[in-house]
Structure 1
Amino acid sequence: MSPKNDGCAHHEDDERHKLYRHVAIVIVAPIVIIAIIIFIIYLVLRPTKPQFTLQDITLNAFNISTATTALSSNLQITISSRNPNARIGIFYDKLDVYATYRSQQITLPTGLPPSYQGHKDVTVWSPYLYGTEVPLAPYLAISLGQDETAGTVLVDIKASGKVRWKVGSFVSGKYHLNVNCPAYITFGNKDGGYAVDPAVKYQLVARCNVDV
């Protein structure tokens, strides 16, 4: 190859590299700018996670079968969420609520309707939670019997779902939301296998633990 042709090849390579750099800048620059804007918005607004409160529980049934160590429960809860942010709205895209005993789920998840929560707003839900003949591990059945004898059982009301933040017209991506509300239930005479009489309502007003 002649020196002239070799110089042309180098020139073409340089032009090609410049083109690649230009394309990379055009693609990456908007992404970086958007990321910086989102980061600045986050630093300025600092979204605060919602505050959940378990207000009450109405127990319609809480029955454990001594023969099969299976638990049947029927309860209605009232749970509220407050948006503490003055400039940020919250979309609850999906939220399932259920009850657990010593980390074992004892009711089916009940889905709450998707909703939007404005600045400083409070949302209240009153779902029913059901669990029919839910098998308990033998050691859990023993623990439940001991708790009944002691007179108090700790049941955790949990919520799990997805939320999004809204600032003006900007809406963030989805964030996972986990809520845990401890509820101490007082047990009386369990004649007939029932731990509580039907339709016993417990006023709690207990603050829940929230992770986003």
Structure 2
Amino acid sequence: MVCFKKRNTIKNKKQKIIMADQQKIHPVVDVEAPPTAPLVPQGSAMSEKGTMSTQQQHPPLQQPNKDGYCSCSFCKCVCWTISVLVLLLIIIAGIVGIVYLVFQPKLPKYSVESLRISDLRLNFDLSLYARFDVKVTASNPNKKIGIYYEKGGRLSVWYTKTKLCQGSLPKFYQGHQNITKLDVALTGQTQYGNTLMNALQEQQQTGQIPLDLKVEAPVAIKLGKLKLMKVRILGECLLVVDSLTTNNVISIKASNCRFKLKL
């Protein structure tokens, strides 16, 4: 009798367990759905064996810009070059300023003392032949500067825009505060002399004949014992004479001279 009761008790317990399992709700699994990857927390990474390992994230390092380096180097090179040039200009300006203060350079002065026409005639080919004798005074007003007049200097006489004659200046050295008188013979032959001679004769009747005397002289400056590079003296004297009579001293009524240096 006791065994029968125990069997009924065990049977009742099994029935209760089966009924409890039936009351549970089991989720339905979709067999056709693709497998989902496991969620990985931020900052973690999966290892080859499937285990997760946490890695510390760092911002990516910026790569150096080669173009930036090149442009920076180029800018530095340009700045250094400009600085050197500015420094050289300052040094040169300082040297020129010192030289100017020490030597106080002045342009030489020139004047036409006399003009004489030795010959002025028409040739058989109707060209005009002219020979002038000009006396020029050259003055060096500098106290510490000498002037070397080199070979190749020219002196010419023009009427309007036509060159009548020209001659060569002598080669010589002019010392400090020196005055030198130069006698220069000018000769020349001009085409269309008949027309030019008629114009000169008509101008002579007025008693005022404009002539243009031009000077071009290569010179070298001497500072103390130092001879500097060659420069050119360019000059022009606008003259007004009373006549062009040959073999007579011509009166110079007006003279306006100006000169400049050219490197």
* Structure 1 and Structure 2 fold alike (TM over 0.5): yes
Counting aligned pairs with the same residue, the percent is 21
Task: Give a deviation string over 1:22-80, Cα, whole Å, max 9, x none.
Answer: 45434542233113321453366543221112222332211246994x42111222212
Residue from 159, 175, 193 that aligns with 2:215: 159
Residue from 145, 148, 170 that aligns with 1:88: 145
* Contact preservation (8 Å) 2:115, 2:132: yes
1:116 maps to 2:182:
no
Q: Distance in 2 between matches of 1:17 and 1:102?
A: 58
Secondary structure (helix, strand or coil) at the match of 2:205 reads helix
Q: Distance in 2 between matches of 1:127 and 1:149?
A: 28
Q: Distance in 2 between matches of 1:147 and 1:23?
A: 62
TM-score by length of 2: 0.58
Give 2:257's aligned amino acid. Answer: N
Count of equivalent residues = 199
TM-score by length of 1: 0.70
1:38 maps to 2:86:
no
Q: Distance in 2 between matches of 1:97 and 1:137?
A: 24
Q: Distance in 2 between matches of 1:87 and 1:207?
A: 29
Q: Which has the higher contact order (CA 8 A, sep 6+)?
A: 1
> Per-residue deviation at 1:106?
0.8
Q: Distance in 1 between matches of 2:255 and 2:108?
A: 11
Give 5+ residue unaligned stretches, structure 1. 188-194
Secondary structure (helix, strand or coil) at the match of 1:38 reads helix
Q: Distance in 2 between matches of 1:48 and 1:111?
A: 24
Give 2:114's aligned amino acid. Answer: D
What is residue 61 of structure 1 aligned with on the other side? 119
What is residue 210 of structure 1 aligned with on the other side? 258
Residue from 94, 98, 105 that aligns with 2:163: 105
More strand by share: 1
Secondary structure (helix, strand or coil) at the match of 2:155 reads strand
Q: Distance in 1 between matches of 2:109 and 2:251?
A: 18
What is residue 149 of structure 1 aligned with on the other side? 205
What is residue 41 of structure 2 aligned with on the other side? none
Report the structure number with the largest CA radius of gyration.
Answer: 2
Q: 1:116 to 1:150 in 2, by over 3 A?
A: same
What is the root-mean-square deviation in Å for CA atoms of aligned residues?
A: 3.7
Give 2:111's aligned amino acid. Answer: T
Q: Distance in 1 between matches of 2:78 and 2:131?
A: 64
* Contact preservation (8 Å) 1:110, 1:129: yes
Q: Distance in 2 between matches of 1:118 and 1:150?
A: 43
Q: Which moved more, 1:151-160 or 1:30-39?
A: 151-160
Task: Give a deviation string over 1:160-199, Cα, whole Å, max 9, x none.
Answer: 2344544333736624411315251535xxxxxxx43xx4
Secondary structure (helix, strand or coil) at the match of 2:141 reads coil
Give 1:38's aligned amino acid. Answer: V
Q: Distance in 2 between matches of 1:12 and 1:61?
A: 76
What is residue 72 of structure 1 aligned with on the other side? 129
Give 1:161's aligned amino acid. Answer: A
Q: 1:183 to 1:12 in 2, by over 3 A?
A: closer
What is residue 228 of structure 2 aligned with on the other side? 171
1:128 maps to 2:185:
yes
